[in-house]
Amino acid sequence: MDNSLISVSILVPTIGRKDLAQTLESVKRQSYRNVSVTVVYDGPAPSVVSTETVVRGEGSHGPSLKKGLELCQGELVAIVDDDTIIPPDWLAKAVPVFSDPRVAFVGGSNLTPPNSSRMERMIGYVQSSYFGSMRMSSRYNVRAKCLDADETDLIATGIYRRKVILEAYRALGSQVFGSAWENILLTWMRRQGYLISYDPELSFYHERRDTIGGLFRQVFKSGSGRARYFKLYPRQMVKKSYMLAPSIFAVYLLALPLLIFATRLIILPAAVYLFTALGISVAFAIRSFDLRAVFLLPVLFLTNHLAYGLGFLSGLLGRTVRTWGAK
């Protein structure tokens, strides 16, 4: 079959971020032409939209995303966040992969834009380093092509086989939306025997947070979503038990003022953590010729770990945080 005959619907969910204009511009520059674009928005109607199909969302991530997906009629659906820039040949390289009927999703690495501010670059480094994100750091680094990736390798931005998303929705209902929806969806696809493909040529640029508070809120939501994921797939908690480490560390730090009265040796894990963070920060400062990284990166590492750990505990013991809302 001629790949150019395969129709692609691009779905751009937005909450009115300032980067929506450049996201849509990157969508319009696609060399693959058999494309339709749908923008689903919550908040004020986006003023930068012209020729796309534009629809108001339902006020929260799950219902809004579902509404947008129902309007997409292409054989393939590309979900593109409103703070993302995709290369011009992104779709042209992705569509041929679906010639294998087993492939349900294709995506690439989530990279820090080259024109990012100092803070954004450092936050990008924290997320892409193994010390900062452990196994999840693979999402933020270019690596070898893999036809059998999993949800720890990729984020939601990518190209999906539309009929499989609809199949997943019929099977999972509302569980497929909300926090950690992409993790839940990709895991379900793999369990049904579909392939999740990672391709470095499908990497894209994704805006980073530019404040410590922004990083904390983003990662807290991620931790909360991970707890929801483990509730739905409890066996994954054993397989991915390393994801519990930030929560254990957060509890340890909170209890440290009390435990130190029992034995001063209890401070050793905190000391090891501090020296490790400082060592990595010094190495980055030398490589990037930015001495301020020595002081800022340890704070960002700690923020990242505490936010994820506390978010996970919050989601595990209470309600998960919704993912749709103010930045």
What residues does each domain of the chain span? Answer: 3-211, 215-317
Task: Give the Cα separation of 68 and 13 in Å (integer).
Answer: 8
On the question of pLDDT at 326 being above 70, the answer is: no
Question: Could you tell me the pTM of the whole model?
Answer: 0.89
On the question of pLDDT at 43 being above 80, the answer is: no
H or E, element range at 8: strand 8-14
Angle between the 181-191 and 212-232 helix axes, to the nearest 10 degrees? Answer: 30
Give the mean pLDDT of 247-268: 90
Task: Give the Cα separation of 68 and 169 in Å (integer).
Answer: 13
Residue identified by tokens 């019929």 is 170
**79, 156 in Cβ contact below 8 A?**
yes
Concatenating the DSSP letter of every residue in 275-327 gives HHHHHHHHHHHHHHT-TTHHHHHHHHHHHHHHHHHHHHHHHHHSPPPPS-S--
Residue-wise pLDDT for 208-252, tens only, equals 999 999 999 999 999 999 999 999 999 999 899 999 999 999 999
Mean residue pLDDT across the chain: 89
**167, 74 in Cβ contact below 8 A?**
no
Residue 73, exposed/middle/buried by CB under 10 A (0-12, 13-18, 19+)? exposed
For the domain bounded by 3-211, which CATH number is listed?
3.90.550.10
Residue-wise pLDDT for 168-193, tens only, equals 988 888 777 777 888 999 999 999 99
Residue-wise pLDDT for 45-99, tens only, equals 777 666 678 888 877 777 788 888 888 999 999 999 989 999 999 999 999 999 9
Query: What pLDDT, on a 0 to 100 scale, did the predictor assign at position 277?
Result: 96
Residue-wise pLDDT for 105-150, tens only, equals 999 999 999 999 999 999 999 999 999 999 999 999 999 999 999 9
Task: Give the Cα separation of 40 and 58 in Å (integer).
Answer: 9
